[in-house]
Structure 1
Amino acid sequence: MPITLLLASRNAKKLTELRRLVATEGIDGVTVVGLDEVPSFPEAPEIGATFEENALAKAVDGCAATGLACLADDSGLEVDALNGMPGVLSARWAGRHGDDDANLQLLLGQMGDVPDGRRGGAFVSACALVTPQGAQTVVRGEWRGRVVRAPLGDNGFGYDPIFVPDEDDLTPPGSVAGRTAAQLSPAEKDGLSHRSRALARLLPTLRSLDG
């Protein structure tokens, strides 16, 4: 029987990523929709102390409001030199939710004096899947890399233009070589990113939705 899976997000790029993963993995019978494609409902603020808490709260709310299986992601950048910040505050680091450029510029300013050898960090994604039957699954994916000093690339969003993943950082600290996440192709990013790593851990549950 065909299943509609709600992604509790209005981020078109996140929706595209999930749809790509579902198609790539051959998960038949599951149609992914976003919040803009279902009747609106009150959305609880993201007040959890962890990515996992926020993701699960969003998935529970979405499932309860729509009666659909709901997948929610909470993700962000944890920078070693900033003691793991901006973390769960990543999307509103500069004070206004979703202002990617302001968030990015503030972070670069805060890291202006951090030497090249101490600019490590990780993208983190927690994904929660809640079904109308009451099943809850929460997983986590991490993508290590380093923060560079200026934005590069147009393919990504958020902090992608200043994050060089370890897999593409083949040169010593201080080198300008290495592509940012925003310079990777969609296929390359799908194979490496924190979100794809978390979603990969959900594949058995996602496959069970159409079975």
Structure 2
Amino acid sequence: MDLLLAEELLLLAYKSNGSPLVELESLDYLLSAAVLAELAVRGRLVFRDGRLEVTDPTPVEEDELDRTLGRLAAFEEAPGFGDFWTAMYTPDRRARLLRRLAERGAITHERRRLLKLIRYEVFPEADAALRTSVRERVRDVLGGAEPDARTVALISLGHAGKVIQRAFPGTGRKRAAEIAARDPIGVTVAAAFKAAVSEHIAKVATGGAAS
């Protein structure tokens, strides 16, 4: 069973000790976008004029993908990316995908306590093979190798959410940005994240001025 694009993104987004490299809410939005990007890579939809158009409703026999494909196919008119993508948001997707990776032996799931008061979860690496394979594929592209469509989508989404920058610090920054610009879904996600940050900064500034 091959990894889903969202699973590959997760392997890049977590350190080997099981702690995340990026804020979890952002990661959850990235995982939703990764589902859409994978459906595009698999020829089930196209992203055209800001809308998600289903071109082939045939199930791909992956529950995580078919659930979303079915919802998209049910629309009489292709939904706008922004509305559909944000409506997909759920931390449950991350939990499901982490369980899948644990079942494959790539990671383990540990519950810990901080100062005996705060409970938290980590997902440390159990078998480095899958993570290493994904990292090497991305590193090769950052080093100049020509990527396939799947790796373009992975790098584009990872770049949008700062996963690539933190997983590969100081490596191929210009190359990563160039590859990221090739995928329209990743570009749209990056713009949405940038707009959200700008909005947050504006709110903080307004609040600060008011106080």
Q: Which has the higher strand share?
A: 1
Q: Which has the higher contact order (CA 8 A, sep 6+)?
A: 2
What TM-score, normalized to structure 1? 0.26
Q: Which has the higher helix share?
A: 2
What TM-score, normalized to structure 2? 0.26
